[in-house]
Amino acid sequence: MQKKIIVIGGGFGGLSAAVRLAAKGHDVTIFDKRDKLGGRAYQYELDGFKFDGGPTVITAPYIFDDIFEAAGKSRHDYFELKPLDPFYRIFNSDGEYFDYMRNEEDILKQIDRWSPADKKGYLKFTENTVDIFSLFHPYTDKPFLTFKKMLNIMPGVIRLGAYKGTYRHVRKYIKHKFLRKVFSFHPLLIGGNPFDTPSIYLLIMQFEKEWGVHYAVGGVGSIIEGFRKLMDDLGVKVRLNSEVERIVVDHQKVSAVQLKDGSIHEADIVISNGDVAFTYRNLIPESSRRKYSNRSIDRKSYSSSLFVIYFGTKKRYLDSKLSHHNIIFGKEYKKLMREIFKGSKLPDDLSLYLHMPTISDESIAPDGCELFYVLSLVPNLKANINWEEIAEEYKDKVLSYLEEHYLPDLKENIVTEHYIDPPHFQNTLNSHYGAAFSFTPSLLQSAFFRPHNRSEEFDNLYFVGAGTHPGAGVPAVLSSGKIAAELIDPTPQNGAG
Ligand SMILES: Cc1cc2nc3c(=O)[nH]c(=O)nc-3n(C[C@H](O)[C@H](O)[C@H](O)COP(=O)(O)OP(=O)(O)OC[C@H]3O[C@@H](n4cnc5c(N)ncnc54)[C@H](O)[C@@H]3O)c2cc1C
């Protein structure tokens, strides 16, 4: 039977759920408060430059393919993905680098340059990572609603040592200090501290090896545009500039959403792609919640936030040592991570991710120009940093660092720039404490212990996106859309559209 479904938020999780449910014949409407779809993957178009606002590392194309196939379409007709190798160029604080390649032989050659004695340990580490992947991958697109399921995976978690912090786990196999960073940074991609995040999440590393790291031609904005077209084909209604202010509840059910303009829209089912903490805390009165009191929500552990500067230069930097995806480690990694994830002030040291996509695609910038974004992990708003006061100074610090070490004469060549900071995550993206990746991926906030895809409070409220199972990152939130759609309508996807 056709259901009226409202999706709050047009991030990747919301788009995935909307497509799958519309493809099954349901009447789907997305409300998003912003003027464009994409959420964290919003594309900023400034002075002829197309800046992807968030995700840039695209892996597991099969997940996109599945969504389009579920709607009876081919993803290739909507956007193009191009494999990248190296996946990442990883710099130490002296500017020496390790090319993190897809192929095992190539990785071993890189290890040989840094620490030949670590080759053997690396191979053992890879075996363990493959085991972790084999065990947990099947759970990444299935619901995790029962504790029994958690009990099923625990023996594997213990046997593989996958409960241990990632860095500690890697340290067992790899001796060289810099290489330990190289093989333990992946939790950062989903908002986790490599020193705390259980090594279960090393499965991300294996995702990349299995399916590659890809670039979306035209930027990730082209993927969002592809979804937009697909949803037009399927008749999904998209209402932008439409912030949901309240979810109307009636005992154990939700019945409608109310927008900021006061209008009420009824629904059989509501799916929130908004931040889970924000949804419970701000859209549903506390008196209607049993498990998720404001206190329990506030006491959860939240990921770091981010400071991201998007900038375009009138000169090209192809002669620099940079690659498409660059990770630049600072001097005091462990201390820095502690300060970012647990601290109360802005750390002095910097560890950066620098994106230089014009190396692979000149179409996203004016002729003769280079497009970059630089991302710095910073504490979330629990830290009480006054961003209004320090944002400009911090931006200057990051750009000065890049100018000194990687991009000579940078500042005089910048022709356009924009930045986002923790208040952006809180105020524009409605994320509690301005966390960039929602709850941290700790053992006690993963799988069964993460807020469920079907609300534990209301029978017909569902969650997709970073704050629910399986977690943050594009492949995960796309999978959350699949999980929610299958919980809502378990009939097989016929691909008929
Ligand atoms: C800078 C950055 C870089 C990243 N890089 C990568 C990467 O390279 N690879 C990767 O896989 N992942 C990356 N991530 C993580 C990944 O982008 C996110 O985990 C993922 O995109 C989140 O998707 P989501 O479905 O949770 O929705 P979101 O993107 O969070 O979107 C939620 C949407 O809900 C809307 N919304 C919220 N509240 C309301 C409301 N009340 N009413 C109406 N609308 C509302 C918001 O406007 C927003 O559009 C990155 C994240 C950031 C921030």
Q: How confident is the model over 423-466, as pLDDT tens digits?
A: 999 999 999 999 999 999 999 999 999 999 999 999 999 999 99
Q: Is the CB of 471 under 6 A from ligand 1?
A: no
pLDDT at res. 417: 98
Is pLDDT above 90 for 237?
yes
Rounded to the nearest angstrom, the distance between the alpha carbon of 439 and the centre of ligand 1 is: 13
**Residues with Cβ within 8 Å of residue 450, at least 6 apart in sequence:** 144, 439, 467, 468, 469, 470, 471
**Residues with Cβ within 8 Å of residue 193, at least 6 apart in sequence:** 187, 304, 337, 338, 340, 341, 440
Q: Is the CB of 36 under 6 A from ligand 1?
A: no
Q: 4-49+217-299+440-488 and 305-428 share one CATH topology?
A: no
Highest mean pLDDT: which range of 233-242, 339-348, 488-497: 233-242
Rounded to the nearest angstrom, the distance between the alpha carbon of 273 and the centre of ligand 1 is: 9
User: To the nearest whole number, what is the mean pLDDT of the chain?
Assistant: 96
Q: Is the CB of 23 under 6 A from ligand 1?
A: no
Q: Is the CB of 99 under 6 A from ligand 1?
A: no
Where does the pLDDT of residue 497 fall: very low under 50, low under 70, confident under 90, or very high at 90 and above? very low
Average pLDDT over residues 400-422: 98
CATH architecture of 4-49+217-299+440-488: 3-Layer(bba) Sandwich (3.50)
Q: Which residue carries 């084999």 as its tokens?
A: 134
Q: How confident is the model over 95-151, as pLDDT tens digits?
A: 999 999 999 999 999 999 999 999 999 999 999 999 999 999 999 999 999 999 989
pLDDT at res. 343: 76
CB distance 257 to 246 below 8 Å:
yes
Angle of the 220-234 helix axis to the 12-23 helix axis, nearest 10: 30
Rounded to the nearest angstrom, the distance between the alpha carbon of 169 and the centre of ligand 1 is: 29
Going by CA atoms, what residue is nearest to atom 34 of ligand 1? 9
Going by CA atoms, what residue is nearest to atom 18 of ligand 1? 473
Average pLDDT over residues 2-20: 98
Average pLDDT over residues 288-294: 96
Judge: domain 305-428, CATH 3.30.519. Answer: yes
Q: Is the CB of 56 under 6 A from ligand 1?
A: yes
- Specify the range with the lowest mean pLDDT, choosing from 153-157, 472-476, 493-497: 493-497
Rounded to the nearest angstrom, the distance between the alpha carbon of 438 and the centre of ligand 1 is: 9
Q: Which residue carries 């340990």 as its tokens?
A: 121
Going by CA atoms, what residue is nearest to atom 48 of ligand 1? 39
Where does the pLDDT of residue 198 fall: very low under 50, low under 70, confident under 90, or very high at 90 and above? very high
Q: Given ligand 1 and candidates 88, 242, 273, which is best to mutate, with the most ligand atoms within 8 Å of its CB?
A: 273
Average pLDDT over residues 362-370: 98
CB distance 270 to 233 below 8 Å:
no
Q: In terms of residues, how long is the chain?
A: 497
DSSP states of 20-61: HHHHTT-EEEEE-SSSSS-GGG-EEEETTEEEE-S---EE-H
Q: Given ligand 1 and candidates 7, 12, 40, which is best to mutate, with the most ligand atoms within 8 Å of its CB?
A: 40
pLDDT at res. 251: 85
CB distance 340 to 378 below 8 Å:
yes
Distance CA 428, CA 44 (A): 14
Host H or E run for residue 172: helix 166-173
**Residues with Cβ within 8 Å of residue 214, at least 6 apart in sequence:** 58, 59, 61, 81, 82, 83, 84
In sign, the C-alpha dihedral spanning 455, 278, 59, 225 is: positive
Is pLDDT above 60 for 419?
yes
Distance CA 245, CA 390 (A): 31
Q: How confident is the model over 370-403, as pLDDT tens digits?
A: 999 999 999 999 998 999 999 999 999 999 999 9
Domain ranges of the chain: 4-49+217-299+440-488, 305-428
pLDDT at res. 162: 85
Is pLDDT above 60 for 57?
yes
